[in-house]
Amino acid sequence: MIGLDTNVLIRYFTQDDPHLSAIANRIIGGLSESSQGFISIVTLAETIWVLARTYDRPRDDLVRVIRALLGTSVFRVQNELQVYAAMEALESGTTGFSDALIGAVDSWAGCSHTLTFDKKAARLPGFQLAR
């Protein structure tokens, strides 16, 4: 298994740099079930953030990226169940991916709740507004 950084995933999904995208394509094309690419939740959150903010990708595209990573046996995604839950929240439009992922991972870790100053995030299950 090899770890994949955000910039490799970005080059793969955007195909915006001929040289680096070709390398990313070769790397990802060379993955297999016996030699998977590991995607940490930090890498995934950063990838989705970059695609949304820098590349102005719509929510549907972001969901497709996450589904592709979760649904392909050549990738091993950290905290897959929590990522899936965060993807569903993103897809429903209730919140951003990062907030939903934070809440899902905190719950998985046994947190009774997650404190935030973000009023929108505070409306999510498991979140409370910090006072």
Average pLDDT score over the chain: 94
Residues 116-129 have a mean pLDDT of 89
Its pTM stands at 0.89
Give the model's confidence band at 61: pLDDT under 50 very low, under 70 low, under 90 confident, else very high: very high
Domain boundaries, the chain: 2-78
Tell me how far the alpha carbon of residue 107 is from its chain's centroid.
17
pLDDT at residue 92 greater than cutoff 90: no
